[in-house]
A = this chain, B = another copy of it.
């Protein structure tokens, strides 16, 4: 090991620098390694013998070396690894180009005995676990487990997604085909790629407010400028949509028209038609995130994409929430040049999606028992939703349920204007009840405090207990 390699720029004769460089040498050397002689160091580093001596003294004091008189100087065995200062990285990296919010509180991992109303994912009992396990085992034996799948996805799965949408498409509208479908490793990648490819950094994107926090995070990462459109239990006002698109010049509007997260809103057919017309007249895109397609309770999904005759709708559909979070498979469906833009970005980002996951997901949704599962899920979600809403009505008189949603997994509660949400979350957590503070769903300010309660977690029988804890914590705030 030659010291010189570590010190090519050793012109400044300062003890500190010699010490720093010898520390790096020592850190890389095995315990017991012999240091070059003082004479060699003097020569190789081009410094005075006094400087070398001072440096050795310091290294000895740091416990990094030991000198055996008449033998030499050695790297000390059993020395503790020195803590590393990574400060130089901050200088090298500079200020981040975009500020991406840190992960959502909905992703917080809580103890098993907690009442988890904060998470966005259904508990195991609501998933078709047996069906998924069988499908995975079968997929593992198929050729897909050892092969690279095409960049756009397995053709059979592309066709399945296309048929699902085409089956609902109005007669006369050109039907979607498998070629219009791009398979994704989860819908989050789709959001990122769509925002990059269709909007681009520095450009405006209209977005519902409140809306899914993951979309807000993906937009920040893509560097797009969010333009909020207020939405309520009926969806956004078409005139506002038109006004925002006109004033901002946004070429795309991200929305969840079916059982929106967090509001639960489902747009009426008239409103859907009106907003699609506005988007069309503005020569813009509607990014329709149909996240809750399988999660209807009192209503069925009616994707706006089925009315799209001219390629204005970019449709996003995920299986993660209804099939399994382990089978992360989603699809984006788009037609025309915009499909190619999104595809190119996605291919550069993900190359391809595991054929195992695609084969297993297709196997699940092709089984007759998948339909039976969705029917049971619907009944179970209805019971849970109603029980949670009743528990809230009884124990949280301060909360206003804006909309008992016809589908999805969440209740969205408006709280008194003076509510301190951070304190509320802390206080309920102290009683082992976890809720999601509403702020994360707002791209800008929240006009009023909200919380989101998910009714697909474990132990629904504890909803009254959870509601009581929320009510008590609100009362303690004087609400």
Query: Contact residues of A with B, CB < 8 Å?
Result: 5-6, 8-9, 24, 26-31, 75, 79, 81-86, 88-93, 96-97, 100, 102-103, 107, 109, 121, 124, 127, 129, 132-133, 136-137, 139-141, 144-151, 170-175, 185-186, 188-189, 192, 196-198, 200-201, 214, 217-218, 220-221, 251, 270, 273-274, 277-278, 281, 283-285, 307, 309-311, 324-328, 335-338, 341, 344-345, 347-357
Contacts and interface: CB of A to CB of B under 8 A. Distances in A.
B354 A327 contact: yes
12 contacts: A5-B274, A81-B174, A84-B310, A85-B310, A86-B336, A89-B336, A90-B337, A103-B151, A137-B137, A137-B140, A221-B345, A221-B349
Contact of A107 (B151, B218, B354): B151
Given A5-B277, A277-B5, A354-B328, A335 B86 contact: yes
B347 A349 contact: no
B310 A348 contact: no
Contacts of A175: 81
A345 B351 CA distance: 18
Contact of A354 (B82, B350, B354): B354
Nearest to A242: B8
Given A310-B86, A327-B354, A5 B270 contact: yes
Contacts of A357: 354, 356-357
A201 B189 CA distance: 19
B327 A356 contact: yes
A78 to B, nearest CB: 10
A163 to B, nearest CB: 16
Given A27-B173, A186-B350, A146 B90 contact: no
Contacts of A149: 325
B198 A93 contact: yes
A348 to B, nearest CB: 4
B172 A27 contact: yes
A109 B29 CA distance: 49
Contacts of A129: 145-146
Contacts of A335: 84, 86
A377 to B, nearest CB: 14
A79 B172 contact: yes
Given A82-B174, A93-B341, A348-B100, A136 B198 contact: no
Nearest to A143: B124
A423 B103 CA distance: 51
A159 to B, nearest CB: 17
Contact of A24 (B79, B309, B345, B356): B309
B146 A326 contact: yes
The 4 closest A-B pairs by CB, nearest first: A86-B336, A221-B348, A326-B356, A136-B140
A310 B303 CA distance: 52
A86 B311 contact: yes
Contacts of A251: 92-93
A127 B147 CA distance: 10
Best-buried of A121, A311, A353 by chain B (most CB within 10 Å) = A311
A218 B348 CA distance: 5
Contact of A29 (B83, B170, B192): B170
